[in-house]
Amino acid sequence: MDRSFWRNRPVLVTGATGLVGGWLARRLVEADAAVVALVRDQVPGCELSRSGLLERLTLVRGDLADQALLERVLGEYEVRTVFHLAAQTIVGIAMRNPTSTWESNIGGAWRLFEACRRSPLVSEVVFASSDKAYGAAEALPYDEGTPLRGVHPYDVSKSCADLIAHSYAATWGTPIVTTRCGNFFGGGDLNWSRIVPGTLRSLLRGETPIIRSDGSLIRDYFYVEDGVDAYMMLAEALAERREMAGQSFNFSYEDPVSVFALVDRIQARLGTSAPLQILGKASHEIPAQHLSAAKARNTLGWAPRFAFDEGLDRTITWYREYLREGAP
């Protein structure tokens, strides 16, 4: 991270109450950036509140559906760099409520990109897409040339928003780059239906962990602090190399694991061997997904700062403290 790049730099972060957004806001504040966080809902216990960051940034309450608000925020705070992380991120919710997911993930994206296009001071936009944008592929790992072929609601929302980002870059030269990562994990994830926080909460409370799927799904898991490093590195690179606009970058440990294997690793770190409750109810899930990060390594010189198990240890420490404090 180049601290001189971020010092006093006006930065907008959407989705700052989420897992990645909270850690990103913290890192930007530590780098002396002038952070503006767009927040729709109050989330008790989120990292943004828990860490005391609310006292050190500008908080704007509003929704990505409000085009006028987006343009006002970018203009009045003279925003230079935008990190668009806000999204509905739960596959099960997308299955039950597809239209709200599409409105958040697709409508929110194009409205923000349009506001950026119409804001002359915006010089870098980092958009958080997902490996789900690729859909199912015959050949793995995914690289950035793999076609975007989402089929089910959540995957489609990521494919569409990803394509819209590329359209803005190609058509109007909007300075957007796209990240595609696997499943983030780390302290601060309060979506308890996800495998890492849900399993940790159960084990730390002496309860039976619940596996929503049949346990065989293979995924990339990516520690949140490495994700934040990657996002900031990408914004700095785009500022120096404008020809990067419209490009996408995968970030991954390139160490895919099954749900069962991940739970085993968590139990090993905790020294437990609790039985599992297997629901086998996950529907329309892609059996295996994992990414090649070769482009990020070769183009950006990117490498993760943490090993997978080190990220797990840091995550476990966060949840121990969080639950000890009497989490909401």
Catalytic positions, please? Answer: 154
Question: Tokens standing for 89?
Answer: 């991120």
308 φ/ψ angles, rounded to the nearest 5 degrees: -55, -50
Peptide bond into 328 cis (omega under 30): no
The torsion of the CA quartet 91, 115, 173, 131, rounded to 10 degrees, works out to -10
Cβ distance 140 to 289 under 8 Å? yes
Q: Which residues pair with 35 in a beta bridge?
A: 11
Q: Which residues pair with 314 in a beta bridge?
A: none
Q: Which residues of 61-85 are buried (b: 16+ CB within 10 A; e: fewer)?
A: eebbebeebbbebbeebebbbbbbb
For tokens 């971020």, the residue is 6
Residue 311 CB-density burial (10 A; 0-12 exposed, 13-18 middle, 19+ buried): buried
Question: Tokens standing for 165?
Answer: 């980002």
CA 111/CA 97 separation, integer angstroms:
21
Cβ distance 222 to 288 under 8 Å? no
CA 162/CA 257 separation, integer angstroms:
25
